[in-house]
Structure 1
Amino acid sequence: MTHVLILVAVAVVLWYIPAGRQRHGAGSSAAAQARRLRTPLVRLADLVGIQTARGRQAQQWAAGAAGEKATAARLAPLARQGWTVLHDRALLTGRANVDHLVISLTGVVFVVDSKLWSARYRLRVVGGRLLHGSHDVTERLRGIRHEARCVAEALGCPVIPIVSMQGAPVDGGELVIDGIRIIPADRLLPVLRTLGRRKAAVKQHPGKAAARLFAPYRRK
Structure 2
Amino acid sequence: MQRPGAGSSAAAAQARRLRSPLVRLADLVGIQTARGRQAKQWDAGAAGEKATAERLKSLAWRSWTVLHDRALLTGRANVDYLVVSRTGVVFVVDSKRWSARYRLRVVAGRLLHGQVDVTERLRGIRHEVRSLADALGCPVISIVSMEGAPIDGGELVFDGIRIVPADRLVPALRTLGCRKAATGPHPGRLAARLFKPYRRK
Q: Give the TM bin, normalised by the shorter chain.
A: over 0.9
Which of 53, 69, 91 is the matching residue for 1:110? 91
Shift of 1:127: 2.5
Q: Of 188, 193, 213, which residue of structure 1 is paired with 2:169?
A: 188
Instruction: Please list, as runs of the form range in 1=range in 2, the aligned pairs for 1:1-220 lying within 5 A after superposition.
Output: 25=4, 28-220=9-201
Which stretch of structure 1 is more off in the superposition, 122-131 or 95-104? 122-131
Q: What's the offset of the Cα at 1:140?
A: 1.0
2:124 corresponds to which letter in structure 1? G
Paired with 1:42 and 1:122, the residues of 2 have a C-alpha distance of 31
TM, length-normalised to structure 2: 0.94
What is the rounded CA distance, in whole Å, between the counterparts of 2:183 and 2:123 in structure 1? 26
How far apart, CA to CA, are the structure 1 residues paired with 2:57 and 2:106?
30
The answer on whether the counterparts of 1:89 and 1:216 sit within 8 Å (CA) in structure 2 is: yes
What is the total number of aligned residue pairs between the two structures? 197
Identity %: 80
Q: CA deviation at 1:139?
A: 1.1
TM-score scaled by length of structure 1: 0.86
Q: Any gaps of 5 or more consecutive residues in structure 2?
A: none
The Cα offsets for residues 76-97 of structure 1, whole Å up to 9 and x where unpaired, read as 1000111000111100001111
Q: CA deviation at 1:131?
A: 1.4
- CA distance in 1 between counterparts of 2:117 and 2:13 reads 29
Distance 1:172 1:202 in 2: 35
Structure 2 distance, partners of 1:32, 1:211, is 22
Unaligned runs of 5+ in 1: 1-23
Tell me how far 1:183 sits from its aligned partner.
Answer: 0.6
CA distance in 2: counterparts of 1:213 and 1:73, whole angstroms: 24
Q: CA deviation at 1:149?
A: 0.8
CA drift at 1:53: 1.5
What's the CA shift for 1:25? 3.2
Aligned-CA RMSD value: 1.4
Q: Which amino acid aligns with 2:166?
A: A
Structure index of larger Rg: 1
CA drift of 1:36 comes to 1.2
SS at structure 2 position matched to 1:198? coil
Letter in 1 for 2:78: N
Quote the Cα distance in structure 1 between the aligned partners of 2:147 and 2:183: 32
More helix by share: 1
SS where residue 88 of structure 1 aligns?
strand
